[in-house]
Amino acid sequence: MKVLVSDSLSNEGLEILKEHFTVDVSTGLSEDELVKKIKDYDALVIRSGTHVTPKIIEAADNLKIIGRAGVGIDNVDVDAATKKGIIVANSPEGNMISAAEHTIAMMMAMSRNIPQANASLKGKEWKRSKFTGVEVKGKTLGIIGLGRIGSEVAKRASGLEMNLLGYDPFVSEKRALELGVKLATVNEIAKEADYITVHTPLIKETRNILDEEQFALMKPTTRVLNCARGGIINEEALAKALESGKIAGAAIDVFVDEPPFDSPLLKFDNVVVTPHLGASTKEAQVNVAVDIAKEVTSVLTGGPAKNA
Ligand code: MLT
């Protein structure tokens, strides 16, 4: 059987696939190039770079599984794949620690103006009072989405002695209590939290979950974070809230359009940005590659899909 890997994948994952199948790695393909190639393959392994469109799926006559090394499957037309009987599986556990750690790093970087101070000193300035920050101890962190990554963020924020509010319609009071989180509505979080971080998939229920209505409720000291998916926070509403001084800052790793070179968010001094680095650690890249390679191997050898 043949596997096409169309985004870069750690060797540890490739080795597992090569033990069982013929593996071709071909990155940076256009939609048309993939349409031409895909009919020869039984599995397609991707990260976030490949957009698996209905046109590609239509041409995928032998495809049994699309394996996403990572969490988000918003770059795959899951409905079209399902209609054609193609399994779409992800690897949701391998990068949760990296994503949670990046969120905490972004919260601290934003609180202490680390990127701005770093750029200033490298520009031969010695400005100490300009970069006075704030402590996070005793502040309230609102976590929207208490799944794998949100829960790991909660554990780490507890260690920083923060108070935790959380919104997640699928999480019980008991589970929230275990995490030290008090459940609240999105608007209660908007009103009360000093920091708000989102950790949901991007689906219709979560798109723009922080929008003009929520920014209007926030305090001038509130800071928001998105290390999940562009579009969960409405970027225009966020830009307006920053422009008018309605909130104190933002830390953003993910954007509706990536790379976000035209995004208004890049122009604010009080916004810390990174280029979708949440899962970019050596450990996470190995973990997701190994997990998805095992998943694809299982499905192509007649076994079950764990994360379909
Ligand atoms: C994910 O969904 O796993 C992360 O955003 C990282 C990625 O897109 O590769």
Cβ atoms of 140 and 285 within 8 Å: the answer is no
Residue 55 maps to which CATH number?
A: 3.40.50.720
Length reported for the chain? 308
Do 215 and 157 have their domain in common?
Answer: yes
Cβ atoms of 113 and 271 within 8 Å: the answer is no
The pLDDT-based confidence of 201 (bands split at 50, 70, 90) is very high
- Average pLDDT, integer, range 178-186: 98
Based on its alpha-carbon atoms, the radius of gyration of the chain, rounded to whole angstroms, reads: 21
Distance 229 CA to ligand 1 centre (A): 9
Residue 307 lies in a domain: no
Q: Is 229 considered catalytic here?
A: yes
Interface predicted TM-score of the whole assembly (ipTM), two decimals: 0.93
Q: pLDDT tens-digit profile of 218-240?
A: 999 999 999 999 999 999 999 99
Do 202 and 59 have their domain in common?
Answer: no
For residue 165, the enclosing domain spans: 96-273
Give the per-residue pLDDT at 107.
99
Give the per-residue pLDDT at 127.
97
Residue 210 lies in a domain: yes
Query: What is the DSSP code (8-state) at residue 137?
Result: T
Give the per-residue pLDDT at 167.
98
Total domains, the chain: 2
Do 103 and 74 have their domain in common?
Answer: no
Give the per-residue pLDDT at 195.
99
Q: Is 128 considered catalytic here?
A: no
Average pLDDT, rounded, for the chain: 98
- Average pLDDT, integer, range 203-225: 98
Residue 37 lies in a domain: yes
Do 100 and 146 have their domain in common?
Answer: yes
Prediction pTM value: 0.94
Q: Provide residues with CB under 6 Å of ligand 1.
A: 47-48, 70-72, 95, 278-279
Distance 88 CA to ligand 1 centre (A): 15
Give the per-residue pLDDT at 55.
98
Give the per-residue pLDDT at 179.
98
Do 25 and 103 have their domain in common?
Answer: no
Do 108 and 76 have their domain in common?
Answer: no
Query: What is the DSSP code (8-state) at residue 66?
Result: E
Residue 305 lies in a domain: no
- Average pLDDT, integer, range 200-229: 98
CA distance 260 to 225: 16
Do 83 and 161 have their domain in common?
Answer: no
The ligand 1 atom nearest the CA atom of 68: 3
Residue 306 lies in a domain: no
Look at residues 43, 90, 42, 94 and name the one whose alpha carbon lies nearest to residue 68. Answer: 90
- Average pLDDT, integer, range 21-35: 98
State both tokens at 76: 């795959």
Residue 308 lies in a domain: no
Q: Is 207 considered catalytic here?
A: no
The pLDDT-based confidence of 121 (bands split at 50, 70, 90) is very high
